[in-house]
Amino acid sequence: MISTQLLGIALTRYILRLPPIAALDPPTLIATLTPVLNQILTYTAGAH
């Protein structure tokens, strides 16, 4: 799951150069992705 998220960001930022993602400065990109990646890394199935 996490590799899919990171590869998707790399694809849209560096290969496709989609403006909404490509225009983000690194600190903003990190701040945007941190909660998503944290949720993926800490998710426990059946806890909901």
Instruction: List, for residues 21-48, the tens digit of each pLDDT value.
Output: 999 999 999 999 999 999 999 988 877 6
Tokens 């701040």 correspond to: 31
Q: Does a structural domain hold residue 30?
A: yes
Q: Does a structural domain hold residue 48?
A: no
Mean pLDDT across 11-29 = 97
Q: Does a structural domain hold residue 16?
A: yes
Total domains in the fold of the chain: 1
Q: Does a structural domain hold residue 47?
A: no
Q: What pLDDT score does 44 carry?
A: 85
Q: State the Cα–Cα distance between residues 13 and 19, nearest whole angstrom.
A: 8
What is the extent of the structural domain holding 12?
Answer: 2-42
Model pTM score: 0.76
Tokens 């990109």 correspond to: 29
Q: Does a structural domain hold residue 23?
A: yes
